[in-house]
């Protein structure tokens, strides 16, 4: 293989790798965004679950019903729909 052929192959390989790098960088950005969305969804769902596992929300008093009955599943539905409040 001549020096010229070797240089042409090197340049072609360099161009190929640059294009591949651009594609991978776009995918990286998309994955970072998806990760952030999933983290926010996880946080929202965790907050809703924390409400339901809190024993204080199930306690009765002589004056009022427990908060869990007043909620009637609203927090869970909103969390599943994507609304945190």
For the beta carbon of residue 75, count every other beta carbon within 10 angstroms: 21
Domain boundaries, the chain: 3-81
For the stretch 11-41, pLDDT in tens is 999 999 999 999 999 999 999 999 999 999 9
For the stretch 33-82, pLDDT in tens is 999 999 999 999 999 999 888 888 888 777 778 888 888 889 888 888 88
Per-residue tokens: 29: 């950005």
Q: What is the pLDDT of residue 6?
A: 93
Q: What is the pLDDT of residue 83?
A: 59
What are the C-alpha distances in Å from 24 to residues 3, 10, 20, 31? 31, 21, 6, 10
Per-residue tokens: 23: 């594609």
Q: pTM value?
A: 0.60
């Amino acid at each position: 293989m001549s020096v010229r052929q070797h240089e042409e192959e090197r340049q072609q390989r360099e161009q190929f790798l640059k294009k591949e790098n651009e594609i991978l960088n776009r995918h990286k950005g998309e994955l970072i965004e998806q990760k952030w969305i999933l983290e926010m969804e996880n946080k929202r769902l965790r907050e809703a679950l924390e409400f339901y596992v809190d024993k204080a929300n199930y306690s009765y008093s002589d004056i009022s019903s427990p908060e869990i009955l007043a909620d009637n599943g609203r927090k869970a539905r909103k969390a599943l729909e994507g609304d945190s409040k």
